[in-house]
Structure 1
Amino acid sequence: MIKTRLIKLLSHAKNYVVLQVVWQLISLVAQIALIFCLSNIISSAFNLFSGENAKHQFPSLFAAAIILCIATRFFMEWLTSRTSFRASADVKQILRAKIYEKLLKLGSSYRENVKTAEVVQLASEGVEQLEIYFGKYLSQFFYSLICPLILFSVLSFVNLRAAAVLLVCVPLIPLSIVLVMKIAKRLLNKYWGLYAELGDSFLENLQGLTTLKIYKADKKKALEMDDESQKFRHITMKVLTMQLNSTSVMDIMAYGGAAVGMIVTILQFRAGKVDLQGALMIILLASEFFIPLRLLGSFFHIAMNGMAASDKIFSLLDLPEPQQKLNGVPKELKKITFENVDFSYNRDRIILNGINIECQRGITSIAGISGSGKSTIAEILMGRNKWYGGNVLFDGTELREISEASLMKNVVLVNHESYLFKGTIRSNLLMAKHDATEDEMMTVLEKANLLDFVHDNGGLGYKIDEAASNLSGGQKQRLALARALLLNPQVYVFDEATSNIDSESEEQIINVIKTLAESKIVILISHRLANIVNSNLIYFLHDEKISESGTHQQLMKKNGEYAKIFTKQKELESINKNINDIKG
């Protein structure tokens, strides 16, 4: 069970595999020498006590040789373990680096091709399975092929018939392994499929646990996960049953083969065709014919699991990569143009249909009801939804021809889900500009109206918990905004950046956006139309198309969908204000 592509990919680890085989073979030679010396001493002692004329021997010399052989075996075992560890460490480092490099090459749109949970599982559990494959299985595989041949070569000079019987019985173990492999391959592929599905469900439910609690849907999801867990348990038990049964078969083959060889040896001894020393050598070394293959069988199931994992890893590594783009975003970008842009997640769900938008310096707003495709436009601009129709032009350069690095440098997305990492305020800001000075960081914090909070809480070293759970919604959004300001791109895309925060924070962020619009291209997406009234141009999405466009005043005069929604929102805000005044 050798996968040549895997060995080529991990060619450096292959050197460690070769070394393991060498150390094991030296250990085998030491074992043969040890048995020779031991059997010689026993044979001489037996002849002496039986009154027979024993040949002149050197017991002290053989005793010293035995000690040397034991020390050699011990040292070779240590070297084998050390080399196995290095091979395992090498494999983990190389494979995880390959997966990481592949994700970088796939870019921000990698989730269109593979689930995040599956990537996590492959990079952790999948790689761990292949660690055993390279660290132990491969070296044991080659050693198991060479070991019986060496033993046969040595013992054939002692007694050819007994050595031949032992050698003939050896292939019974690999035959049983081959039979098990046919069953195991299908079973382990199914195992990994269910394992990936269970991991995906677990990650999704964990991320949405708060929502599930709010809607009291956690019990239903728990029952669904129980069903998935039961399916995974059943397939796991089948894998374990298969492993136990195959182990029993291999034990029968190994011990049975050794027993047959010993019986033949005893018969040859009784017939006078082999002396006592030779008989002892064959009997004591008979198990060595089968132990390597038996040990290989114990690694076999893990190796099979590793093979199934490698198939998944190669499926990821074989995903088509976007072509390398040489063009960049123009240094002095004047406008972004959407020309007849279409987008659909599948044929039955069209999101955008013939969209035409032009964004210049200032604020260009995109409005529409929920699900109308506003965020899809933002995702297209960020290069995450690549399979769009039509053209998205940056001063005439098609988005598809712009390198992702240039796009990420010149276009930044700030939304209500902008992620803040565990660490400090400083470390989160330095993500945007790794060489930013403290003055630069303080300047953007001041613009985002977060400077007082930073000063009051110990400065830039203030610790941020995972997902910024120790910050309020408004503080999170303003810190995300400060990070975007530090990047200083040519284009800012604000996608519902003021949702789920207090009115004071919302007003502060809108003021920053207005300031940015004086020198940058700003694309503002907001469900709250009061935030976009000062936009240079507003596009209103309805039924997959741009149904209206113009300034706020122009759209209100048209008295279309935009005007109706704006009026309703104003009425609702007025009612809420009156209710709050009464409560106050």
Structure 2
Amino acid sequence: MTITAETAAPAAPAPDGGDKPAPGRAALIALLAPIRPRLITAAAFQVVYAVSALVPFVCVAELARVLLSPGAGGAGRVWPIAALAVAGLLVRFLSFGVAGAITHFADADLQLHLRRRMAAHLSRVPLGWFGERNSGHVKKVLQDDVREMHHLVAHAALDLLAAVVTPLAALAYLLYVDWRLTLVVLIPVPLFAAAFAIMMRGYDEQMRRWSEANSRISSAVVEFVQGIAVIKTFGQTRRSYRRFAEAADDFADFFAAWVRPMLRLSGLSMAFISPPAMLLVSAAGGAVFAANGWIAPVDVLPFVLVGVALTAPFLALDMGSMRLRSAAESAGRVAALLDTPPLPEPETPTRPIGHAVGFRDVSFSYDGATPVLRKVSLSLEPGTVTALVGPSGSGKSTLAKLLPRFYDPGEGEILVGGADVRAIGSAELYHHVGFVLQDVQLLRTSVADNIALGRPEAEREEIERMARAAQIHDRITELPRGYDSVIGEDTHLSGGEAQRVAIARALLADAPILVLDEATAFADPESESAIQDALSTLVAGRTLLVIAHRLSTITGADQIAVLDGGRITERGTHDQLLAAGGLYARMWAAHVRDDERDWTRR
């Protein structure tokens, strides 16, 4: 086994600490089920390849035995043996090509099958699942982990099989020639095994330490890159870089201390089974046996030619096992994604009647232990604006996300048009409930397609009309290809521009109930004014639930619900809550002081 950075280092865990994978081997076996018959067929051809690969060498040895043996009786066997050698070569190349073609086509079908299956499954999981994971995690599973299984399916599985079959076939032939000299030729194998066992002592513990060290350096890199702007602003670049450099140095020291002694043992163990060593053992053993009359000199030739094949595949076994382990880890993550519980859909969906919204004794917990909402009840009349305010962590965003079923409540019910949202089919629910959040997600497709996401059949005239209403039409026409410009390729939109595209999308979808996480929280003044104008168009006539971050934007709301500790502690209009002198009044006073301080600074 040759120890390199690749062989010593296992596949790194998902950087976001995502779902723990299911047992990898079992997951891998289950995921390979659709192509198992083709893999078995490819394995049969690979066995033929592994055996036929030895045929030319065996034929050369047998040809030498025939030609060098006394007497002319064997001369007639020369041409059949030569023909067999040629046939062996042809069968080898043919079986290798067929096996490889089968596995590559099977791998392509498997990747397509898995990606389609995951895409279909992701369309059924709760929207909140995506909020708990970054796009990098989903991309890694969909793209990287599926691709990682390619090496196993298309290459490593066949290499592993050949690495087992070829030595066994060689061993069988050599035992047929002379079992005693075969045992001598096998002497380096236990020496290799002993050196390898010593080298691998404490391997699991070192793997654990490697993962910890790798996580520390990854965290240092992320911290350094993400915080570089703030670090430079406060003149702390040298200190921050020193933390990164120290983490890198610690990792290098650990890795070197682990791998350096393994490199010596690795070199020693590989020396025992290297082709020159095997050739030396075969030749020396054969010479001793021939000198003592235990074997005919011509019978030494098979051991010189074929003996090397006994240990040559050991490196392939090592590399193949690495691929197997890596593929198993990837399969575990794919299986974990596919095991994500989908959003329950009703067997007989109910259609809501009207646009009234009601929360009835709603309780919710993310982990099943720590309550985020406690017995919350709230009514939203059609065409009214309800604002949610409260300290950070009070449950505002959680309550708002329960309405479009990002999650389902643990207790209580949420009604839309008199029907529990869990009794309404998802497609029907999203015709009634739309949302515009701060963190806008735009697809890597045209601007027009991004706006028409909720109504793909919409005409271009409708799309442009909604873009004008959202105050983004003029900006779109300035793009290289106008509405056909691809986000991320032809253009990159600012936060405020992306918000206006999202508002145009919501306008086109025309949902009568809207959840709005204040869209101007991170906008510059120019964008904020345009977004406010667009929102005025968007909310007209709709039932609106607003998560308020700036109290000045919701003073005209029909009702304001104040959350604190997961409960609604106050409810009323802006004037009523100020008069009550409670939490809202204190928050308003703090808001006024902040505005006055900002004005003074200007």
TM-score range relative to shorter protein:
0.7 to 0.9
* 1:258-269 superposed matches below 5 A: 260=281, 263-269=284-290
Residues 555 and 563 of structure 1 are in contact (CA less than 8 Å); yes or no, is this contact kept in structure 2? yes
User: Which residue matches 1:291?
Assistant: 312
Q: 1:471 & 1:152 partners in 2: Cα distance?
A: 67
TM norm structure 1? 0.79
Q: 1:182 & 1:57 partners in 2: Cα distance?
A: 56
Deviation, 1:286, is: 1.3
User: Which residue matches 2:353?
Assistant: 332
Q: 2:260 & 2:107 partners in 1: Cα distance?
A: 27
Deviation, 1:481, is: 0.5
Residue deviations 1:486-513 (CA, integer Å, cap 9, x gap): 2222321111112233556545544554
Q: 2:432 & 2:28 partners in 1: Cα distance?
A: 39
Assess, with a 3 A threshold, how the Cα gap between structure 1 residues 354 and 186 changes in structure 2: closer, same or farther: same
Counterpart among 29, 32, 40 of residue 7 in structure 1: 29
User: Which residue matches 2:499?
Assistant: 477
User: Which residue matches 1:300?
Assistant: 321
User: Which residue matches 2:488?
Assistant: 466
Deviation, 1:525, is: 2.3
Specify the SS of the correspondent of 1:433.
coil
User: Which residue matches 2:4?
Assistant: none
Specify the SS of the correspondent of 1:527.
coil
Q: 1:247 & 1:301 partners in 2: Cα distance?
A: 19
Specify the SS of the correspondent of 1:500.
coil
Q: 2:364 & 2:48 partners in 1: Cα distance?
A: 65
Q: 2:311 & 2:339 partners in 1: Cα distance?
A: 39
Assess, with a 3 A threshold, how the Cα gap between structure 1 residues 267 and 526 changes in structure 2: closer, same or farther: same
Counterpart among 253, 263, 281 of residue 302 in structure 2: 281
User: Which residue matches 1:73?
Assistant: 92
Assess, with a 3 A threshold, how the Cα gap between structure 1 residues 397 and 474 changes in structure 2: closer, same or farther: same
Residues 388 and 562 of structure 2 are in contact (CA less than 8 Å); yes or no, is this contact kept in structure 1? yes
Deviation, 1:248, is: 4.4
User: Which residue matches 1:368?
Assistant: 390
Deviation, 1:261, is: 5.3
**AA aligned opposite 1:466:** G
* 1:162-201 superposed matches below 5 A: 162-163=181-182, 183-185=202-204, 187-188=206-207, 191=210
Residues 17 and 135 of structure 1 are in contact (CA less than 8 Å); yes or no, is this contact kept in structure 2? no
Question: Mean alpha-carbon deviation: is it higher for 150-159 or for 459-468?
Answer: 459-468
Task: Number of aligned residue pairs: give it.
Answer: 577
**AA aligned opposite 2:307:** A
Q: Determine which structure has the larger helix proportion and give its number.
A: 1
User: Which residue matches 1:252?
Assistant: 272
* 1:310-389 superposed matches below 5 A: 310-319=331-340, 323-326=344-347, 330-343=351-364, 351-361=372-382, 362-386=384-408, 389=411
Residues 388 and 561 of structure 2 are in contact (CA less than 8 Å); yes or no, is this contact kept in structure 1? yes
Residue deviations 1:322-360 (CA, integer Å, cap 9, x gap): 544447574434322223444566799865444332222
User: Which residue matches 2:555?
Assistant: 533
Specify the SS of the correspondent of 2:75.
coil
Question: Mean alpha-carbon deviation: is it higher for 198-207 or for 337-346?
Answer: 198-207
Question: Mean alpha-carbon deviation: is it higher for 168-177 or for 385-394?
Answer: 168-177
Coordinate RMSD, CA, aligned:
4.5
Residues 419 and 467 of structure 1 are in contact (CA less than 8 Å); yes or no, is this contact kept in structure 2? no
Deviation, 1:574, is: 7.2
Deviation, 1:461, is: 2.8
TM norm structure 2? 0.77
User: Does 1:140 pair with 2:140?
Assistant: no
Residues 198 and 225 of structure 1 are in contact (CA less than 8 Å); yes or no, is this contact kept in structure 2? yes
Residues 414 and 494 of structure 1 are in contact (CA less than 8 Å); yes or no, is this contact kept in structure 2? yes
Q: 1:164 & 1:543 partners in 2: Cα distance?
A: 77
Provide structure 2 residue ranges, at least 5 long, that are not aligned to the other structure: 1-22
Specify the SS of the correspondent of 1:35.
helix
User: Does 1:27 pair with 2:49?
Assistant: yes
* 1:396-435 superposed matches below 5 A: 396-399=418-421, 404-435=426-457
Deviation, 1:9, is: 1.8
Q: 2:426 & 2:79 partners in 1: Cα distance?
A: 75
Assess, with a 3 A threshold, how the Cα gap between structure 1 residues 376 and 472 changes in structure 2: closer, same or farther: same
**AA aligned opposite 2:376:** I
User: Which residue matches 2:509?
Assistant: 487
Q: 2:361 & 2:51 partners in 1: Cα distance?
A: 76
Q: 2:191 & 2:116 partners in 1: Cα distance?
A: 40
Q: 2:438 & 2:559 partners in 1: Cα distance?
A: 23
Specify the SS of the correspondent of 1:538.
strand
Q: 1:117 & 1:105 partners in 2: Cα distance?
A: 20
Q: 1:341 & 1:395 partners in 2: Cα distance?
A: 17
Specify the SS of the correspondent of 1:291.
coil
Residues 393 and 565 of structure 2 are in contact (CA less than 8 Å); yes or no, is this contact kept in structure 1? no
Assess, with a 3 A threshold, how the Cα gap between structure 1 residues 45 and 87 changes in structure 2: closer, same or farther: same
Percent of aligned pairs with the same amino acid: 21
Residues 374 and 525 of structure 1 are in contact (CA less than 8 Å); yes or no, is this contact kept in structure 2? yes
Q: 1:238 & 1:93 partners in 2: Cα distance?
A: 43
Deviation, 1:482, is: 0.3
Assess, with a 3 A threshold, how the Cα gap between structure 1 residues 566 and 531 changes in structure 2: closer, same or farther: same
Assess, with a 3 A threshold, how the Cα gap between structure 1 residues 219 and 433 changes in structure 2: closer, same or farther: farther
**AA aligned opposite 1:39:** A
Q: 2:256 & 2:428 partners in 1: Cα distance?
A: 51
Q: 2:223 & 2:428 partners in 1: Cα distance?
A: 32
Residues 388 and 546 of structure 2 are in contact (CA less than 8 Å); yes or no, is this contact kept in structure 1? yes
